Amino acid sequence: MKKDLLFDLTVDKTKQTVTITREFDAELPLVWDAFTKQEFLDQWVAPKPFTSRTKYMDFKVGGKRFFAMVSPEGQERWMIQEYKSITPKTNFQLFNAFADEDENPQLPGSEWDYNFSEQHGKTKVVISIYNESLTRMERLIEMGFKEGMAATLDNLDELLATASAK
Amino acid sequence: MEIRRDIFQAIADPTRRAIVVLIALQAMTPNALAEHFNTSRQAVSKHIKILTECDLVKQEQQGREIYYSLEIEKMKEIDIWLDQFRKIWEIRFNQLDNVLSKMKKQKK
């Protein structure tokens, strides 16, 4: 990672929100595309050796992205996201939930809020993730870490396994 | 029925977080603790029971009184969890850095 780029992650338990801030060494339109276009998203949201496979993505309010995190063994974990609001190159919000392969969401999910701003050619992205139940989220993440099972946030369990295998 | 409890459950409740803060400063008796809350003593005991089950609170008998104190080591579990979570996002964003530099080159 480039050392001079800001990275911050905080958990606010009273607001049941995780906030992640990261700076990128690129202009805003590029970063916006990387977060909102299928062909770019699939290149980075899944940490190697996992891959992201998007079945469809319709980036508009009310539109959905249905995708899977695929393990090296070919195991798929499906997720569905629905876009709740979009302010081009500034902000978008989505609802994220695990799903089965027939697109049925497994509730409760989480609400994601993405904010973009550019300064001196660098783009700052602030992601707030609100969970109806932070306890549940934490427990599931912990479970994922220990037993490689379920997680509520994205592909967190797979990611944890990758991180702990190092 | 046995319910598995953990530290995240312990601190999910505002009253329990307040108890943790209070006993982090000094060991306290159930009565002294209850004075800090508007709820009944029973309600406070119930929270202490959960905290004890989460291994976050230990109790010591001193004479006729029971004193509750905080298991500091256990609190570190939260940091460990947060660290794992951070790592995931680091990996993901490093990949994004690479994608962005590829995108930049293609633009030129």
Q: How far apart are CA A127 and CA B91, in angstroms?
A: 16
Q: How far apart are CA A133 and CA A91, in angstroms?
A: 24
pLDDT of residue A142: 47
Tell me the pLDDT tens digit for each residue of A62-104: 999 999 988 778 888 888 999 999 999 999 999 988 889 999 9
Whether B9 and A135 lie within 8 Å, measured CB to CB: yes
CB atoms within 10 A of CB A92: 21
| Pairs across A and B, CB distance < 8 A | 90
The answer to whether residue B101 neighbours chain A at the CB level (below 8 Å) is yes
pLDDT of residue B8: 72
Task: Look at residue B100 and tell me if it is in a domain.
Answer: yes
| Contact criterion met (CB below 8 Å) for A157 and A150 | yes
Which residue in chain A has the smallest CA separation from B101? Answer: A26
Q: Which residues of A touch B100 (CB under 8 A)?
A: 24-26, 30-31, 34
Q: Which of A48, A142, A163 sits opposite B88 (nearest CB)?
A: A163
pLDDT of residue A137: 57
Task: Look at residue B83 and tell me if it is in a domain.
Answer: yes
Task: Look at residue B85 and tell me if it is in a domain.
Answer: yes
**pLDDT band, residue B41 (cuts 50/70/90):** confident
Note the helical H segments in B4-71.
7-10, 14-25, 30-34, 41-53
Q: Which residues of A touch B101 (CB under 8 A)?
A: 25-26
Q: Which of A5, A139, A159 sits opposite B88 (nearest CB)?
A: A159
Query: In this model, does residue B36 exceed pLDDT 70?
Result: yes
pLDDT of residue B38: 83
pLDDT of residue A136: 53
Number of domains in chain B: 1
Test mutation, B16, B88, B93, chain A, max A CBs within 10 A: B88
Q: Element (H or E) spanning A161, and its range?
A: helix A156-165
- A7-165: CATH topology is Alpha-D-Glucose-1,6-Bisphosphate; Chain A, domain 4 (3.30.530)
All residue ranges of chain A with pLDDT < 50 are 1-2, 140, 142-166
Side-chain half-sphere exposure of B37, counting CA atoms within 13 A: 21
Q: Which residues of B touch A14 (CB under 8 A)?
A: 14
Phi-psi region of B12 (alpha: psi -120 to 50; beta: other; left: phi over 0): alpha
Tell me the pLDDT tens digit for each residue of B11-24: 777 788 788 878 87
> Which amino acid would we find at residue A101?
E
Return mean pLDDT, chain B. 83
pLDDT of residue A125: 92
Task: Look at residue B62 and tell me if it is in a domain.
Answer: yes
Whether A134 and B89 lie within 8 Å, measured CB to CB: no
Tell me the pLDDT tens digit for each residue of B52-103: 988 889 999 988 999 999 887 777 777 676 776 777 788 888 889 999 999 9
Phi, psi angle pair for A115, to nearest 5°? -125, 135
Global confidence as pTM: 0.65
pLDDT of residue A133: 63
| Contact criterion met (CB below 8 Å) for A135 and B9 | yes
> Domain ranges in chain A?
7-165
Q: What is the CATH number of the domain that holds B102?
A: 1.10.10.10
Q: Which domain holds residue B71?
A: 7-107
Q: Element (H or E) spanning B92, and its range?
A: helix B72-107
Task: Look at residue B22 and tell me if it is in a domain.
Answer: yes
Mind giving me the DSSP string for A56-80?
Answer: EE--STT-EEEEEEE-TT--EEEEE
- For the question of an ipTM over 0.85, the answer is no
| Contact criterion met (CB below 8 Å) for A113 and A107 | no
The Cα of A49 is separated from the nearest Cα of chain B by a number of Å equal to 11
